[in-house]
Amino acid sequence: MAGDRDRRIGRRALLVGGAAAAVGTAALTRDELTRLYWRLPGVRRARVAGAVDFRGARWVAASSANYRTADRPDDYRVDRVVVHVTQGGYASAVKAFQDPAHGAAAHYIVRKDGRITQLVRELDVAFHAGNRSYNERSVGIEHEGFVDRPQDFTDAMYAASARLTAAICGRYGMAPDREHVIGHVEVPGTDHTDPGEHWDWDRYLRLVRRVGQT
Task: Catalogue the active-site residues.
Answer: 142
- Cα–Cα distance between 180 and 140 in angstroms, integer? 12
DSSP H stretches of helix in 58-200: 90-97, 132-137, 155-172
- Cα–Cα distance between 125 and 70 in angstroms, integer? 6
- Cα–Cα distance between 204 and 207 in angstroms, integer? 5
- Cα–Cα distance between 95 and 18 in angstroms, integer? 41
- What residue type is 210 in one-letter code? R
- Cα–Cα distance between 135 and 7 in angstroms, integer? 13
DSSP 186: G
Helix (H, G, I), strand (E, B) or coil at 86: coil
Cis peptide before 73 (omega within 30 of 0): yes
Is the Cα dihedral 71, 75, 79, 84 positive or negative?
negative
